[in-house]
A and B are shown apart, each in its own frame.
Chain A
């Protein structure tokens, strides 16, 4: 044991490890910075988990369009604890994105982005963007039929950038068509390019926290004044600051471990996302969906008015980026307490509601045709004459049922037609079916007048 200590002392003397770490450990922090402050370090814990599990996965994963799918099945089904490894990586990603969001909201509410911590916020915004991009490219590396279409949708979105969109789309796809080069691109981005940027920016982000000091919890009425803030902060720390470790750091460690435990439990109990059908671009029965954290954007694309779509896709990321980066530059002094900043609270509530609503609808996707629906049963159709019976058949054959439900059979894109006979007259039905609507095709050229009459007479039987 004495020898071990001797060896350690030698290493420490030559490298200066404790000399470097002790100040970090001992540096003073505001004594009232408590549980609200654990989210940044929790995100870092998740990132470290992602790097470790990611490296482990890269020992097993084959990043080639031809072999990725088989290697995924191999990892999931045959590698010892492979399924757990994949689960850790998936739930680690989900946790990281969730925590990054919570961390951002906390910083925003406490105005910790104000002087002198503007750079922390700006680097944080870039980190947010990179984290979500890692989520997107990571899902794509789960190269099954869903992954293939993720690549297409990504390239198509890039295509909406004015002037240079199409070349960028082809660069993302690795060709003018999907092919051998596609997966390699995303593998390089996910494993090399963005992690390199992440390491650098996270280092900078943490360095800034240490240099500028972790912000003290705000107090209503105590405004940030650039001229004397730094002096005031330092003297406040001298008076009542506590050493980071263990007085504050214990909370970071505790919460971080709790998060990892949660990820572990979810990985064991729920398991990783299933590997779907083979990645065949000719598989027209795919039902492409992003992972949960992007479902709100998925809903946005379905519900946005089509006339503004190109503008929204091309410019809204830029505008949002500019607004986020400008925040600490414009609002860099004054009140920090949320109690004196009602607009801040309003923004958080509104954004949470808006994004939350889109999320909810993204999971239900009522705009998707209900392809799995069956023809109406005799029970639902009930007692009808032959023309009306034919109308009931047409309701399925002509695809009405994919968007309209009758007695809980069918899609929810369009209005429920269970009692449409009470609401509309025969003439109104005819006009609607022939002309269509905003999200409804016109069936005028698809239905003969006999078919139309049978269909509407069936629909008129749908009464309470």
Chain B
């Protein structure tokens, strides 16, 4: 089909409508892509409030011991089921001081295991090792074990739910 010739009668109208429709298509594409991209990046836009979760009474934990505590993530989606659970290695270092380590290895996120007699965290995936204070001891992890915020309120030990620690570049 030949391109519309401006000189013929009626062509200017056709050209104008064509240009107009292209612009409208562009605008509609942009508008429709907003919810589509919104669905993709929804996790970044969702507000995840950080909640304090009680994991036990202060007296439940012995000084100098590290134990596994399990708790729920913040406002989990109703269909999360088991995946809303999370855990922390909780160490009591004095009467009122605790450290809550993440269970995710700083290397690639596999769950680390605490060996109480050896006082070491060992990772099953690629052999990362951390000392009892979470500091790096051996293997591929690029830094120490991350920690969650922890506090003691009314004799309860509380850990603050937080984003999964992701090791960056």
Contact = CB atoms under 8 A, between A and B. Distances in A.
B166 A156 contact: yes
B164 A155 contact: yes
Contacts of B129: 441
Interface residues of B, number: 59
A414 B78 CA distance: 46
A67 B79 CA distance: 8
A171 B169 contact: no
Interface of B: 40-44, 46, 48, 68, 70, 73-74, 76-87, 103-104, 107-113, 115, 117-120, 122-127, 129, 131, 137-142, 161-164, 166-169
A238 interface: no
Given A159-B168, A439-B127, A179 B44 contact: no
A67 B120 contact: no
A280 B87 CA distance: 10
Contact of A155 (B44, B81, B109): B109
A170 B43 contact: yes
Given A171-B40, A442-B137, A159 B167 contact: yes
A272 interface: no
Contact of A153 (B73, B84, B85, B110): B110
Q: Which of A159, A165, A175 has the most CB of B within 10 A?
A: A175
Interface stretch (A227-235, A242-250, A397-405): A397-405
Size category of the binding interface on chain A:
35 or more
B168 A166 contact: yes
Contacts of B41: 167, 171
Contacts of B43: 170-171, 173-176, 181
Interface string A369-407: 101000000000000000000000000011100110000
A284 B79 contact: no
B81 A67 contact: yes
Contacts, number: 207
A53 B118 CA distance: 48
Nearest to A411: B127
A283 interface: yes
B82 A284 contact: no
23 contacts: A64-B81, A65-B82, A152-B104, A153-B108, A156-B166, A165-B169, A176-B43, A176-B164, A178-B73, A281-B85, A282-B70, A284-B112, A301-B107, A301-B108, A367-B139, A369-B123, A398-B117, A399-B115, A403-B127, A436-B138, A437-B138, A439-B138, A441-B129
A26 interface: no
A134 to B, nearest CB: 19
A165 B166 contact: yes
A416 interface: no
Given A156-B109, A301-B108, A179 B166 contact: no
B140 A304 contact: yes
A279 B82 contact: yes
Contacts of A398: 117-118
A288 B168 contact: no
A446 B113 contact: no
Contacts of B103: 282, 284
A176 B163 contact: yes
Interface in A128-163: 148-149, 152-153, 155-157, 159-163
A157 B108 CA distance: 7
B169 A284 contact: no
A251 interface: no
A303 B71 CA distance: 34
A357 interface: no
B62 to A, nearest CB: 18
A339 B114 CA distance: 56
Interface in A159-193: 159-163, 165-167, 169-171, 173-183
Given A179-B80, A302-B125, A281 B86 contact: yes
Interface string A304-329: 10100110001000000000000000
Given A157-B108, A306-B142, A310-B169, A399 B86 contact: no
Given A152-B104, A171-B40, 12 more contacts: A64-B81, A149-B109, A156-B104, A280-B85, A309-B142, A369-B122, A399-B120, A436-B137, A439-B139, A441-B120, A446-B118, A446-B131
B77 A156 contact: no
Contacts of B79: 64-67, 180
Given A149-B109, A282-B103, A179 B122 contact: no
A183 B84 CA distance: 12
Nearest to A393: B117
A440 interface: yes
Contact of A288 (B48, B81, B125, B140): B125
A413 interface: yes
Nearest to B48: A176
A433 interface: no
Contact of A178 (B83, B122, B139, B141): B83
A278 interface: yes
A148 B137 contact: no
A286 to B, nearest CB: 6
